[in-house]
Amino acid sequence: MITFDQISFSYGSRRVLQEVSFSIHDRERVAILGGSGEGKTTILKLILGLLRADSGRILIDGEDITDKEEDELREVRIKFSIVFQEGALFDSLTVKENVAFCLREYTPLSEEEIDGKVRELLRVVGLENAMELMPEELSGGMHRRVAVARSLAACEPKMFLYDEPTSGLDPVNADNICRLILDLSKGETGFIIVTHKVFDAIRVANRFMFLNNGAILFDGDRDHLVHSPLPEIKTFIRELGSIHLEAGSCRGEEESED
Protein backbone atom coordinates (compact mmCIF):
# COMPACT_ATOMS: atom_id res chain seq x y z
CA MET A 1 0.00 0.00 0.00
CA ILE A 2 2.74 2.48 0.98
CA THR A 3 6.09 2.57 -0.80
CA PHE A 4 8.94 4.99 -0.18
CA ASP A 5 11.49 4.80 -2.98
CA GLN A 6 14.76 6.58 -2.19
CA ILE A 7 13.03 9.43 -0.35
CA SER A 8 15.14 12.35 0.88
CA PHE A 9 13.78 15.34 2.78
CA SER A 10 15.24 18.41 4.46
CA TYR A 11 13.97 21.24 6.60
CA GLY A 12 16.05 24.05 5.13
CA SER A 13 19.68 23.05 5.46
CA ARG A 14 18.95 20.23 7.94
CA ARG A 15 18.70 16.84 6.24
CA VAL A 16 16.10 14.66 7.97
CA LEU A 17 15.68 11.69 5.62
CA GLN A 18 18.40 10.41 3.29
CA GLU A 19 17.35 8.04 0.46
CA VAL A 20 14.88 6.13 2.66
CA SER A 21 13.13 3.13 1.10
CA PHE A 22 10.51 0.76 2.53
CA SER A 23 7.12 -0.80 1.79
CA ILE A 24 4.25 -1.22 4.25
CA HIS A 25 1.11 -3.23 3.51
CA ASP A 26 -2.23 -1.91 4.73
CA ARG A 27 -2.76 -4.81 7.18
CA GLU A 28 0.59 -4.46 8.91
CA ARG A 29 1.07 -3.10 12.43
CA VAL A 30 4.21 -1.00 12.23
CA ALA A 31 5.99 1.09 14.85
CA ILE A 32 8.50 3.70 13.68
CA LEU A 33 10.95 4.43 16.49
CA GLY A 34 13.63 7.03 16.92
CA GLY A 35 14.69 10.06 18.91
CA SER A 36 13.37 13.58 18.56
CA GLY A 37 14.07 15.16 15.18
CA GLU A 38 14.81 11.86 13.43
CA GLY A 39 11.94 12.22 10.95
CA LYS A 40 9.22 9.97 12.41
CA THR A 41 6.38 12.48 12.08
CA THR A 42 7.85 13.69 8.79
CA ILE A 43 7.22 10.24 7.33
CA LEU A 44 3.52 10.44 8.24
CA LYS A 45 3.23 13.90 6.68
CA LEU A 46 4.95 12.69 3.51
CA ILE A 47 2.50 9.77 3.28
CA LEU A 48 -0.39 12.24 3.34
CA GLY A 49 1.22 14.68 0.95
CA LEU A 50 1.40 17.37 3.63
CA LEU A 51 5.10 17.65 2.85
CA ARG A 52 6.83 17.19 -0.50
CA ALA A 53 9.99 15.10 -0.75
CA ASP A 54 13.19 16.66 -2.09
CA SER A 55 13.81 13.54 -4.17
CA GLY A 56 12.52 10.02 -4.63
CA ARG A 57 8.99 8.66 -5.12
CA ILE A 58 6.07 7.87 -2.79
CA LEU A 59 3.46 5.39 -4.00
CA ILE A 60 0.08 4.75 -2.35
CA ASP A 61 -1.68 1.65 -3.68
CA GLY A 62 0.72 1.73 -6.60
CA GLU A 63 -0.09 5.35 -7.49
CA ASP A 64 2.74 7.87 -7.49
CA ILE A 65 1.65 10.83 -5.32
CA THR A 66 5.01 12.60 -5.33
CA ASP A 67 3.99 15.44 -7.62
CA LYS A 68 0.24 15.55 -7.01
CA GLU A 69 -1.34 18.94 -6.43
CA GLU A 70 -3.30 19.72 -3.27
CA ASP A 71 -6.71 19.17 -4.87
CA GLU A 72 -5.58 15.76 -6.13
CA LEU A 73 -4.51 14.50 -2.70
CA ARG A 74 -7.96 14.21 -1.12
CA GLU A 75 -8.49 10.73 -2.58
CA VAL A 76 -5.18 9.70 -1.03
CA ARG A 77 -5.86 11.19 2.40
CA ILE A 78 -9.27 9.61 2.88
CA LYS A 79 -7.55 6.21 2.87
CA PHE A 80 -5.99 7.08 6.23
CA SER A 81 -7.19 8.05 9.68
CA ILE A 82 -4.54 10.31 11.21
CA VAL A 83 -4.13 11.43 14.82
CA PHE A 84 -1.30 13.93 15.18
CA GLN A 85 0.22 14.59 18.58
CA GLU A 86 -0.48 18.31 18.26
CA GLY A 87 -4.03 17.75 16.92
CA ALA A 88 -5.85 19.75 19.60
CA LEU A 89 -9.63 19.76 19.87
CA PHE A 90 -11.65 22.92 19.35
CA ASP A 91 -11.73 24.43 22.86
CA SER A 92 -15.07 26.18 22.31
CA LEU A 93 -16.91 23.02 21.18
CA THR A 94 -18.20 20.10 23.21
CA VAL A 95 -16.93 16.58 22.64
CA LYS A 96 -20.03 15.90 20.53
CA GLU A 97 -19.51 19.01 18.42
CA ASN A 98 -15.81 18.26 17.91
CA VAL A 99 -16.59 14.82 16.51
CA ALA A 100 -19.50 16.14 14.46
CA PHE A 101 -17.43 18.89 12.85
CA CYS A 102 -16.07 16.85 9.91
CA LEU A 103 -19.43 15.17 9.38
CA ARG A 104 -21.11 18.55 8.98
CA GLU A 105 -18.35 19.92 6.76
CA TYR A 106 -17.80 16.99 4.43
CA THR A 107 -20.90 14.80 4.36
CA PRO A 108 -24.56 15.28 3.32
CA LEU A 109 -25.83 13.62 6.52
CA SER A 110 -28.83 15.09 8.31
CA GLU A 111 -28.52 16.31 11.91
CA GLU A 112 -30.27 13.16 13.11
CA GLU A 113 -27.84 10.97 11.15
CA ILE A 114 -24.87 12.99 12.44
CA ASP A 115 -26.07 12.58 16.02
CA GLY A 116 -26.30 8.81 15.56
CA LYS A 117 -22.89 8.63 13.93
CA VAL A 118 -21.26 10.71 16.69
CA ARG A 119 -22.77 8.45 19.36
CA GLU A 120 -21.48 5.40 17.50
CA LEU A 121 -17.95 6.80 17.20
CA LEU A 122 -17.82 7.86 20.85
CA ARG A 123 -19.08 4.42 21.83
CA VAL A 124 -16.17 2.91 19.90
CA VAL A 125 -13.65 4.92 21.94
CA GLY A 126 -15.55 4.43 25.20
CA LEU A 127 -16.69 8.03 25.66
CA GLU A 128 -20.40 8.08 24.84
CA ASN A 129 -21.13 9.47 28.30
CA ALA A 130 -18.75 12.40 27.72
CA MET A 131 -20.63 13.91 24.78
CA GLU A 132 -21.50 17.19 26.49
CA LEU A 133 -18.14 17.77 28.17
CA MET A 134 -15.82 20.55 27.07
CA PRO A 135 -12.19 19.74 26.16
CA GLU A 136 -10.94 21.43 29.35
CA GLU A 137 -12.94 18.90 31.36
CA LEU A 138 -11.21 15.90 29.78
CA SER A 139 -8.20 14.00 31.03
CA GLY A 140 -5.24 13.57 28.70
CA GLY A 141 -6.33 10.07 27.77
CA MET A 142 -9.92 11.13 27.11
CA HIS A 143 -8.68 14.03 24.99
CA ARG A 144 -6.63 11.63 22.86
CA ARG A 145 -9.59 9.25 22.44
CA VAL A 146 -11.87 12.08 21.29
CA ALA A 147 -9.20 13.00 18.74
CA VAL A 148 -9.31 9.40 17.49
CA ALA A 149 -13.11 9.52 17.21
CA ARG A 150 -12.92 12.81 15.30
CA SER A 151 -10.42 11.35 12.86
CA LEU A 152 -12.69 8.35 12.30
CA ALA A 153 -15.58 10.69 11.49
CA ALA A 154 -13.73 12.00 8.45
CA CYS A 155 -13.49 8.68 6.61
CA GLU A 156 -13.53 4.89 6.75
CA PRO A 157 -9.76 4.35 6.66
CA LYS A 158 -7.78 1.56 5.12
CA MET A 159 -5.03 2.32 7.63
CA PHE A 160 -4.52 4.28 10.86
CA LEU A 161 -1.63 6.68 11.40
CA TYR A 162 -0.74 7.64 14.99
CA ASP A 163 1.75 10.34 15.94
CA GLU A 164 3.05 9.77 19.51
CA PRO A 165 -0.40 8.60 20.71
CA THR A 166 0.71 7.84 24.29
CA SER A 167 3.12 10.74 24.74
CA GLY A 168 2.53 12.63 28.00
CA LEU A 169 0.01 10.12 29.31
CA ASP A 170 0.16 8.29 32.63
CA PRO A 171 0.49 4.46 32.48
CA VAL A 172 -3.25 3.83 32.88
CA ASN A 173 -4.26 6.17 30.05
CA ALA A 174 -1.37 4.96 27.88
CA ASP A 175 -2.67 1.42 28.39
CA ASN A 176 -6.18 2.52 27.39
CA ILE A 177 -4.83 4.06 24.18
CA CYS A 178 -2.90 0.88 23.40
CA ARG A 179 -6.09 -1.13 23.83
CA LEU A 180 -7.98 1.26 21.56
CA ILE A 181 -5.28 1.01 18.87
CA LEU A 182 -5.54 -2.77 18.95
CA ASP A 183 -9.34 -2.77 18.97
CA LEU A 184 -9.50 -0.48 15.94
CA SER A 185 -6.99 -2.58 14.02
CA LYS A 186 -8.89 -5.86 14.35
CA GLY A 187 -9.84 -7.34 11.02
CA GLU A 188 -8.16 -5.96 7.92
CA THR A 189 -7.05 -2.49 9.06
CA GLY A 190 -3.39 -1.98 9.96
CA PHE A 191 -1.59 1.01 11.40
CA ILE A 192 1.63 2.95 11.62
CA ILE A 193 2.52 4.36 15.03
CA VAL A 194 5.45 6.73 15.41
CA THR A 195 6.74 6.94 18.95
CA HIS A 196 9.76 7.19 21.21
CA LYS A 197 8.05 4.97 23.83
CA VAL A 198 9.47 1.54 23.10
CA PHE A 199 7.37 -0.34 25.63
CA ASP A 200 4.07 0.95 24.21
CA ALA A 201 5.24 0.19 20.67
CA ILE A 202 6.05 -3.39 21.64
CA ARG A 203 2.58 -3.84 23.11
CA VAL A 204 0.80 -3.04 19.85
CA ALA A 205 3.10 -3.54 16.84
CA ASN A 206 4.69 -6.58 15.24
CA ARG A 207 7.08 -4.79 12.87
CA PHE A 208 9.56 -2.15 14.00
CA MET A 209 11.59 0.43 12.09
CA PHE A 210 14.29 2.49 13.78
CA LEU A 211 15.33 5.86 12.33
CA ASN A 212 18.80 7.21 12.98
CA ASN A 213 20.69 10.01 11.20
CA GLY A 214 18.28 10.11 8.29
CA ALA A 215 18.31 6.37 7.57
CA ILE A 216 16.41 3.24 8.60
CA LEU A 217 18.93 1.52 10.83
CA PHE A 218 16.64 -1.40 11.67
CA ASP A 219 13.53 -3.00 10.15
CA GLY A 220 12.33 -6.21 11.74
CA ASP A 221 10.21 -7.99 14.32
CA ARG A 222 10.08 -7.66 18.10
CA ASP A 223 12.61 -10.34 18.98
CA HIS A 224 15.21 -8.97 16.59
CA LEU A 225 14.63 -5.47 17.97
CA VAL A 226 14.98 -6.57 21.61
CA HIS A 227 18.15 -8.53 20.90
CA SER A 228 19.67 -6.16 18.35
CA PRO A 229 23.44 -5.82 18.72
CA LEU A 230 23.36 -2.32 17.24
CA PRO A 231 24.67 0.11 19.88
CA GLU A 232 22.29 2.87 18.78
CA ILE A 233 19.26 0.68 19.45
CA LYS A 234 20.61 -0.71 22.71
CA THR A 235 21.27 2.81 23.96
CA PHE A 236 17.87 4.04 22.80
CA ILE A 237 16.04 1.28 24.65
CA ARG A 238 18.11 1.65 27.81
CA GLU A 239 17.75 5.43 27.98
CA LEU A 240 13.97 5.15 27.75
CA GLY A 241 13.82 2.87 30.76
CA SER A 242 12.52 0.01 28.64
CA ILE A 243 14.99 -2.65 29.68
CA HIS A 244 12.17 -4.86 30.97
CA LEU A 245 10.80 -5.76 27.57
CA GLU A 246 8.22 -8.34 28.52
CA ALA A 247 5.06 -7.88 26.48
CA GLY A 248 2.50 -5.71 28.23
CA SER A 249 -1.17 -6.44 28.81
CA CYS A 250 -2.32 -5.12 25.44
CA ARG A 251 0.16 -7.24 23.52
CA GLY A 252 -0.57 -10.31 25.58
CA GLU A 253 -4.31 -10.09 24.99
CA GLU A 254 -3.81 -9.60 21.28
CA GLU A 255 -1.59 -12.64 20.99
CA SER A 256 -4.09 -14.77 22.91
CA GLU A 257 -6.78 -13.89 20.38
CA ASP A 258 -4.79 -14.88 17.31
User: Is 163 a member of any domain?
Assistant: no
pLDDT over 60 (residue 196): yes
Q: Is residue 141 part of a domain?
A: yes
Q: How confident is the model at residue 184 (pLDDT cuts 50, 70, 90)?
A: confident
205 within some domain: no
Domain count across the chain: 1
What integer pLDDT is reported at residue 33 of this predicted model? 95
Query: What does the pLDDT average to over 205-218?
Result: 95
Q: Which CB contacts under 8 angstroms, 24+ apart, belong to 135-143?
A: 135/88, 135/89, 135/90, 135/91, 135/93, 135/95, 135/98, 136/91, 138/95, 139/173, 140/168, 140/169, 140/170, 140/173, 141/169, 141/170, 141/172, 141/173, 141/174, 141/176, 141/177, 143/89
Mean pLDDT of 215-222: 96
Name the pLDDT band for 109 (thresholds 50, 70, 90). Answer: confident
Residue 87: pLDDT band by 50, 70, 90 thresholds?
low
Judged against a pLDDT cut of 90, whether residue 4 lies above it is answered with yes
What was the pLDDT predicted at 131?
Answer: 92
Q: Is 143 part of any domain?
A: yes
Residue 132: inside a domain: yes
Q: Across residues 211-234, what is the average pLDDT? A: 93
> Does residue 125 lie within any of the structural domains?
yes
Residue pLDDT, tens place only, 29-82: 999 999 888 999 999 999 999 999 999 999 999 999 998 999 899 889 889 988
168 assigned to some structural domain: no
Q: What is the mean pLDDT of residues 93-100?
A: 93
63 found inside a domain: no
Residue 105 pLDDT grade (very low, low, confident, very high; cuts 50, 70, 90): confident
pLDDT at 213: 92
Q: Is the pTM of this model over 0.95?
A: no
Q: Which domain holds residue 140?
A: 88-156
Mean pLDDT of the chain, nearest integer: 87
